[in-house]
Amino acid sequence: MRITTLETLLQHDIGTAGRPLSRAAIESYQAEALYQLVEYCRLRSPFYRSKLAEFDNQTISSLDGLSALPLTSETELREQGHHMLCVSQDEVARIISLPSSGTTGAAKRLFFTEDDLERTRLFFRIGMGNLAEPGQKAAILLPGATPDSTGYLLAGALQAMDVRSEILGLVSDPVAVARQLVAGRFDVLIGFPIQLLAVARVAEARKMELPMIRSVLLCSDYIPKSVSTALAASFGCEVFSHYGTVESGLGGAVDCAMHCGMHIRETDLLIEVIDPKTGYPLADGRWGEIVLTTLQRRAMPLVRYQTGDLGRLLVGTCPCGSTIRRLDKVKGRISLQRKLRSGAWIDLPTLDEVLFGLPGLIDFSAAIDENAGQDRLCLTLQCLPGHEDATVEAAGRLLAGQPQLCGVHVQVEHDSGYRRLHQGKRQLFDQREFVCHETACSSSLLNPCR
């Protein structure tokens, strides 16, 4: 049994190299780092100086004082981001802008120093030790043309491990990428779940002889189990999961060989889960909104930042033997849950789990509209050539069996030929004139049994 490689990172940071890592040691380190972070932010950031003016830092003698700190919202990050900055512009090595998910609104801008980026490289290097070995070759199917982008940082981390890599970028044409994989003789694949599945299925349908893939790393805020299972079967290898966002510093948590949750980079990130309706912390095992605090970020620290992602912390110790806390599979954005007229909820992750088990499916788009006062779910499938009719029929049959779609008219059709795969975040579009603005933080979505 091999323990997660993140043990090495935490032992180095905490100063316990060569000794077993305990929860007490991790939490003591985090409490001290949190205390120093609050002092640093109040000293250097106009935003935090005002926001934390009434906060008594002496209450952070342990992590029990964490919930006394105010939450930081996405709106505050968009509107006050420049006031969150704790360093001069000369010290900023990288700025990442994330456009608003709506048609209007300011972009989120995240600032990083070179030291911040180095912490990400270090996490990538040590985290990749779970699935890559010196002398191997990796294909990075992530954005990487820009210096210090995710793919660029990952390539640098792999080079430090003596693992060669090529940045192939996001998958637009799965046939072309499959040919690149055949020519490149790669051992490790790193990319978005749906895009890698499209490549695998196209290659199999065309009887292309892909190299023997040793491991796959899926990177996303939501990774369908149906996709992980299909990729493991297609490539005949282990499939690992990684959760990370720009706010987390691109790296966040990665699973080990036991695949029982993703171990968190706990000396960099303090993660908690709250009830998004009340803001109260939830016990391990309860589903809620992921909130993160960046313990070592220099340029733009985030204190109790509400990510908007639905997740939970797992109870107990990983079977690998590590006491590092673990995130369960993250279930996507809470704000992208859609309430139906029946009172039931539907979201894209649910549709993904239902549909991507169909072997002829490559990708799909989905939207809700209305017809004669009834909700209508419209899906357009992208299928392997020759599999269109069977896949459309099977999809309709599967969706008809979903209880939350009772009373919803389901319309399924297919595209002709290969179109461009989704390049950004996929979502279930709501095109109804009547849109329920109730948030998805109500009971059923946060039920642990969901």
Please list the residues that pair with 288 across neighbouring strands. Answer: 311
Which of 332, 363, 394 is the last residue before a domain boundary? 332
Tokens for 308, please give them.
């908007």
3-state helix, strand, coil in the chain (%, to 5): 35, 25, 40
CATH code: domain of residue 423: 3.30.300.30
**Residues 88 and 27 grouped into a single domain:** yes
- Helix/strand/coil for 309: strand
**Residues 62 and 32 grouped into a single domain:** yes
Q: Confirm if 211 and 199 have CB atoms less than 8 A apart.
A: no
Task: Express each pLDDT in 342-382 by its tens digit.
Answer: 899 999 999 999 999 999 999 999 999 998 889 999 999 99
> Is 127 among the domain residues?
no
> Is 233 among the domain residues?
no
> Is 193 among the domain residues?
no
Q: Confirm if 327 and 409 have CB atoms less than 8 A apart.
A: no
**Residues 407 and 439 grouped into a single domain:** yes
Q: Confirm if 6 and 263 have CB atoms less than 8 A apart.
A: yes
**Residues 384 and 410 grouped into a single domain:** yes
Which residue from 337, 316, 340 is spatially nearest to 328, judged by alpha carbons? 316
Which of 266, 301, 332 is the last residue before a domain boundary? 332
Residue range 142-153: mean pLDDT, rounded: 89
Whole domain around residue 342: which residue ranges?
335-446
Helices (H), 161-291: 174-184, 193-205, 225-235
Which residue from 256, 252, 253 is spatially nearest to 239, judged by alpha carbons? 256
Q: Confirm if 383 and 360 have CB atoms less than 8 A apart.
A: yes
**Residues 407 and 324 grouped into a single domain:** no
> Is 350 among the domain residues?
yes
> Is 293 among the domain residues?
yes
In the chain, the largest separation of any two C-alpha atoms, in whole Å, equals: 68
**What does each C-alpha distance from 231 to 141, 158, 218, 302, 423 come to in angstroms?**
15, 22, 10, 35, 19
Q: How confident is the model at residue 449 (pLDDT cuts 50, 70, 90)?
A: very low
Q: Please, what is the Cα angle at 1 between 248 and 126, to 5 degrees? A: 30
* Long-range CB contacts (within 8 A, 24+) of 390-397: 390/360, 391/358, 391/360, 391/361, 394/358, 395/355, 395/358, 395/361
> Is 205 among the domain residues?
no
pLDDT at position 222, please? 83
- State the DSSP string of 219-253: ESSB--HHHHHHHHHHHTSEEEEEE--TTTTS--E
Q: Flag whether pLDDT at 1 surpasses 70.
A: no
Q: Residue 397: CB partners within 8 Å, gap ≥ 6? A: none
**Residues 321 and 367 grouped into a single domain:** no
Task: Express each pLDDT in 86-138 by its tens digit.
Answer: 999 999 999 999 876 554 567 899 999 999 999 999 999 999 999 999 999 99
**Residues 92 and 24 grouped into a single domain:** yes
**Residues 272 and 346 grouped into a single domain:** no
Task: Express each pLDDT in 202-231 by its tens digit.
Answer: 999 999 988 899 999 999 778 999 999 999
Residue range 14-35: mean pLDDT, rounded: 92
Which of 273, 300, 332 is the last residue before a domain boundary? 332
**Residues 437 and 358 grouped into a single domain:** yes
Q: Flag whether pLDDT at 444 surpasses 50.
A: no
Q: Confirm if 83 and 47 have CB atoms less than 8 A apart.
A: yes
Q: Look up residue 164 and give its DSSP letter.
A: E
Q: Which amino acid does the sequence have at 367? A: A
**Cα(first)–Cα(last) distance of the chain, in Å?**
31
**Residues 328 and 261 grouped into a single domain:** yes
**Residues 341 and 325 grouped into a single domain:** no
How many domains, in total, are found in the chain?
2
* Mean pLDDT score of the chain: 91
CA 13 to chain centre: 24
> Is 195 among the domain residues?
no
pLDDT at position 80, please? 95
CATH code: domain of residue 280: 3.40.50.12780
Residue 293 dihedral angles phi and psi, to the nearest 5°: -125, 125
Q: Residue 323: CB partners within 8 Å, gap ≥ 6? A: 21, 22, 23, 26, 317
> Is 286 among the domain residues?
yes
Task: Express each pLDDT in 246-295 by its tens digit.
Answer: 999 999 999 999 999 999 999 999 999 999 999 999 999 999 999 999 99
**Residues 12 and 33 grouped into a single domain:** yes
Q: Confirm if 80 and 113 have CB atoms less than 8 A apart.
A: no
